[in-house]
Amino acid sequence: MVICVIPRKVSLLEPWAGQFLKQGPDFMKNQRLRYGSFFKSHILGCPTIVSMDAELNRYILMSESKGLVAGYPQSMLDILGTCNIAAVHGPSHKLMRGSLLSLISPAMMKDHLLPKIDEFMRSYLCGWDELETVDIQEKTKHMAFLSSLLQIAETLKKPEVEEYRTEFFKLVVGTLSVPIDLPGTNYRYGVQARNNIDRLLTELMKERRESGETFTDMLGYLMKKEDNKYLLTDKEIRDQVVTILYSGYETVSTTSMMALKYLHDHPKALEELRREHLAIRDRKRPNEPLNLDDIKSMKFTRAVIFETSRLATIVNGVLRKTTHDLELNGYLIPKGWRIYVYTREINYDTSLYDDPMIFNPWRWMEKSLESKSYFLLFGGGARLCPGKELGISEVSIFIHYFVTGYKWEEKRGENLVVFPRVSAPKGYHVKVSPY
Three-state SS for 404-420 is HHEEEEECCCCCCECCC
Task: Tell whether the torsion through CA atoms of 378, 367, 381 and 56 is positive or negative.
Answer: negative
- Find the helix packing angle between 249-265 and 267-282, rounded to 10°: 110
Nearer of residues 81 and 386 to ligand HEM, judged by Cβ: 386
Pick the binder of ligand HEM from 54, 153, 385, 432 (CB under 6 A): 385
Composition of the chain by helix, strand, coil, percent to 5: 55, 10, 35
Report the residue from 41, 137, 140, 309 that binds ligand HEM according to the rule CB under 6 A.
Answer: 309
Interior CA angle at 36 toward 33 and 41, to 5°? 100
| Options 156-164, 250-258, 265-273, 322-330: segment touching ligand HEM (CB under 6 A) | 250-258
HSE of 230, CA atoms in CB hemisphere, 13 A: 18
**73 binds ligand HEM per the rule CB under 6 A:** no
Q: Which of 377, 389, 400, 411 is nearest to 136 (CA)?
A: 411
Q: Which residues pair with 302 in a beta bridge?
A: none
Bridge pairing between strands 338-342 and 48-51? parallel
CB of 40 to ligand HEM, least distance (A): 21
Query: 12 in helix, strand or coil?
Result: helix
Q: Is 248 in the site for ligand HEM (CB under 6 A)?
A: yes
CA distance 31 to 41: 10
Given 76, 86, 328, 424, the residue binding ligand HEM (CB under 6 A): 86
From residue 327 to residue 366, what is the string marking binding to ligand HEM with x (rule CB under 6 A)? ----------------------------------------
Nearer to ligand HEM, 273 or 315 (CB): 315
Site for ligand HEM in 156-175 (CB under 6 A): none
Per CB under 6 A, does 57 bind ligand HEM? no
105 vs 211, beta carbon nearer ligand HEM = 105
The number of C-alpha atoms within 13 Å of 8 and in the hemisphere containing its C-beta is 0
- CB nearer to ligand HEM: give 186 or 243: 243
Among 378, 401, 402, 428, binds ligand HEM (CB under 6 A): 378
By beta carbon distance, the residue nearest ligand HEM is: 387
Q: Which is nearer to ligand HEM, 97 or 224 (CB)?
A: 97
Binding residues with ligand HEM: total (CB under 6 A): 26
Which residue of 244, 290, 333, 422 would you call a contact of ligand HEM, by CB under 6 A?
A: 244
When asked if residue 314 is in the footprint of ligand HEM (CB under 6 A), the reply is yes
CA atoms within 13 A on the CB side of 267: 3
Closest CA to 341 of 84, 95, 22, 64: 64
Rg (CA), the chain: 22
Indicate whether 97 belongs to the interface with ligand HEM (CB under 6 A).
yes
- Strand-pair category, 48-51 with 134-135: unpaired
Closest CA to 327 of 71, 68, 89, 44: 68
385 a known binding residue? Answer: yes
- In the list 76, 85, 113, 237, the residue contacting ligand HEM (rule: CB under 6 A) is 85
Q: Which residues contact 3 (CB under 8 A, 6 or more apart)?
A: 331, 332
Pick from 70, 136, 191, 432 the residue near ligand HEM by CB under 6 A: 70
243 is a contact residue toward ligand HEM (CB under 6 A): yes
Angstrom distance (rounded) from CA 213 to CA 364: 45
313 binds ligand HEM (CB under 6 A): no
Determine how many CB atoms are found less than 10 A away from the CB of residue 343. 25
Does 81 contact ligand HEM by CB under 6 A?
Answer: no
Decide if residue 312 touches ligand HEM (CB under 6 A): no
Q: Among residues 222 and 432, whose Cβ is nearest to ligand HEM?
A: 222
Candidates 162-170, 322-330, 382-390, 413-421: pick the segment binding ligand HEM (CB under 6 A). Answer: 382-390
Interface mask toward ligand HEM for 258-287; x: CB under 6 A = ------------------------------
CB of 7 to ligand HEM, least distance (A): 26
Reduce the secondary structure of 173-241 to three states and give it as a string. HHHCCCCCCCCCCHHHHHHHHHHHHHHHHHHHHHHHHHHCCCCCCHHHHHHCCCCCCCCCCHHHHHHHH
- Chain residues binding ligand HEM by CB under 6 A are 70, 85-86, 97, 100, 104, 243-244, 247-248, 251-252, 255, 309, 314-315, 318, 377-379, 383, 385-387, 390-391
Q: Which residues are annotated as a binding site?
A: 385
Q: Which residues are annotated as a binding site for heme?
A: 385
